[in-house]
Amino acid sequence: MYVNRGMIEAAKNEGEMAGVMAHEISHVALRHATAQQTKLNNPLNQILGIGAILGGAILGGGTGAQLGQMIVAGSFLRYSRDYETQADILGARIMADAGYDPRDLANMFRTIAGEGGGRGPEWLSSHPDPGNRFQKINQEAQYLNVSSSPIKVTQEFSRTKERLSGMPRAKSMAEIEKDAKSGTSTNSAIANGRYTNSVAYPSTRYRTYQSGNWIRMNVPSNWEEFSGQSDVTFAPQGAYGDQGITHGAMVGLSRSRGGTFDQATRDYVDGLVQSNSYLRQQGGFSRTTVSGRQAYQTTLTGRSPVTGRNETVTIYTVPMRSGDMLYVAAVAPTDDGYRYNSAFRSMIGSIRLND
pLDDT in tens, the chain (355 residues): 888 888 888 899 999 999 999 998 998 899 887 887 776 666 655 555 444 434 444 444 444 455 455 544 454 444 477 888 899 999 999 999 999 999 999 998 887 777 655 444 443 355 556 558 888 898 999 999 999 999 998 998 988 888 777 666 666 666 666 655 544 445 667 888 899 989 999 999 999 999 877 899 999 999 999 987 778 999 999 999 988 999 999 999 887 777 899 999 999 999 899 889 899 999 999 999 999 999 999 999 999 999 999 999 999 999 998 888 999 999 999 999 889 999 999 999 999 998 8
Pairing of strands 244-245, 248-254: unpaired
Query: What residues does each domain of the chain span?
Result: 5-165, 184-353
DSSP string, 178-236: HHHHHT-SHHHHHHT----S-PPPPPSSEEEEEETTTEEEEEETT-EEEE-SSEEEEE-
Which of left, alpha, beta for 155 (phi over 0: left; psi -120 to 50: alpha)?
alpha
* Residue 80 pLDDT: 72
- Report the C-alpha gap between 343 and 336 in whole angstroms: 12
* Full-model pTM: 0.52
- Report the C-alpha gap between 93 and 153 in whole angstroms: 20
* Phi and psi torsions of 98, nearest 5°: -90, 0
Q: Three-class SS of residue 43?
A: helix
Residue 232 C-alpha from the chain's centroid: 15
227 pairs with which residues across the strands? Answer: 232
- Report the C-alpha gap between 177 and 104 in whole angstroms: 34
* Residue 77 pLDDT: 46
CATH of 184-353, one of 3.40.50.261, 3.40.50.970, 3.40.1000.10, 3.30.1490.20: 3.40.1000.10
